[in-house]
Structure 1
């Protein structure tokens, strides 16, 4: 499975106004709960527990929060471009405005690593990150990621 198969236009958002890392994780959890038969609080708890182990910010304004919940039967993703960057405890000290969150089933260790590697590879391209930051709507963001992941095949 490719990233573009676990992300949808309905789970891709542009110019969201969220004021903190916690608010970002809450929004991601709410959206994921619509796709996973699981309470948003369980999803939030999984994401937050992972953040306590160490930040999922990669630097350069990008974070890839991820987690696992038992109720999740297949991987799902949420992609957000924030209106204004928020402090995310990034290793480079830069605030984060690009969030690509992934939730996988409880026992999907290798699957999660595959998705994380793929999205990290895609988001490591400066020209693509620039395109993302200049997107005007969720559909445009989705298309950018879809095209970028197709090129990886």
Structure 2
């Protein structure tokens, strides 16, 4: 049974579980090692951070997957993703395409942006999300990429 339509159209939740097939396609490309923002039920990697161990307070290394809460704290997660890439991590972020927001301009636009065609169906829901999404990729700057 999917999430009630009224919940999808409201701000009642800011947690949107990543569709498995969508993740699998990106995982085949990137080979994720760490899910930085998960629950025990929806973690996409063997290594993951939950609210209990606070992913924002942890060091992100390697190739990281991030599907953050889509509420007011999303800017904090995007800043952490960007800063982690500056420190050497690759962070691939699934976020709502909110091109009018401060966090989008401050962080998303510093990464590679891939707009998602259509609307994703999160968490096995029968209904599509009421918002468009994008994948933002932050990669460490290497000498080869900088040249």
Which is richer in helix? 1
Which is richer in strand? 1
The structure with higher relative contact order (CA 8 Å, sep 6+) is: 1
TM-score normalised according to structure 1 size: 0.28
Larger radius of gyration: 2
